[in-house]
Amino acid sequence: MYTHISPAPQDKTLVVLSGGLDSATVLALAKLNTKDTLYTLSFDYGQKHVRELDNITALSNRYDAIRYVRSITALEELPGLRKGDKPTGLSPVPGMLLPDSWKPGRNMVFLSIAFSYAYTLGCSVVAMGAHQEDYPGYPDCRELFLESMEHSAQLALASPIALWVPLLYFTKAGIV
């Protein structure tokens, strides 16, 4: 897993793009580190911040990326992912306070789909804007989880596709 700002330049990169600050920053970094084709993959799952979806087209166009937006209605059907639902399950880490914005397994689902897209598109890297400052309330932003997802995807696809999380150790202020 890459966690530094500039990995070796890649031929093709897929960026998981929410349209928010973190993923927009990663998209800009990916543009600098991609020699050939840049792709974005975004998900419409009935999220609260729909305005971020409006940013996806503009960001993809600005960085000359081929854009994919996928509706994931299955996520809307899961308790805890529907608008207004609050997670009610046990906290995955003792003492962890899960905010209302946390959606159980969201990054796990997104990364699973992103790695499949990357494989199909011939990308060597999937880039994501997760950072550990979010960890106290978002267990799927932890380094251990992200490494595990990368390893699982590599095993499932029999491919060395890497996960690039350049903001992992940044604070929100540092990202800005």
Q: Where residue 53 sits, what CATH number does that domain have?
A: 3.40.50.620
Residue 71 to residue 34: CA distance in whole angstroms: 27
pLDDT of residue 83: 52
What confidence tier does 39 reach under pLDDT thresholds 50, 70, 90?
very high
Question: Does some domain include residue 171?
Answer: yes
Q: Report residue 17 as tokens.
A: 């793009």
Report yes or no: 167 and 1 within 8 Å, Cβ to Cβ.
no
Output 76 or 152, whichever has higher pLDDT: 152
Residue 108 to residue 120: CA distance in whole angstroms: 19
Residue 80: which residues within 8 A CB-CB, separation 6 or more?
86, 87, 88, 89, 103, 104
pLDDT of residue 173: 85
Question: Does some domain include residue 61?
Answer: yes
Straight-line distance from the first to the last Cα atom of the chain, in angstroms, rounded to the nearest whole number: 23
pLDDT of residue 85: 55
pLDDT of residue 96: 63
Specify the number of domains making up the chain: 1
Question: Does some domain include residue 2?
Answer: no
Residue 163 to residue 104: CA distance in whole angstroms: 21
pLDDT digits (tens, 9 = 90+) for 86-140: 555 555 555 666 666 677 788 999 999 999 999 999 999 999 999 887 556 678 8
pLDDT of residue 46: 73
Report yes or no: 104 and 78 within 8 Å, Cβ to Cβ.
yes
Q: Report residue 88 as tokens.
A: 């009610």
Question: Does some domain include residue 87?
Answer: no
Question: Does some domain include residue 4?
Answer: no
Question: Does some domain include residue 42?
Answer: yes
Question: Does some domain include residue 88?
Answer: no
Question: Does some domain include residue 1?
Answer: no
pTM (predicted TM-score):
0.87
Range of the domain at 161: 10-82+98-175
pLDDT of residue 104: 75
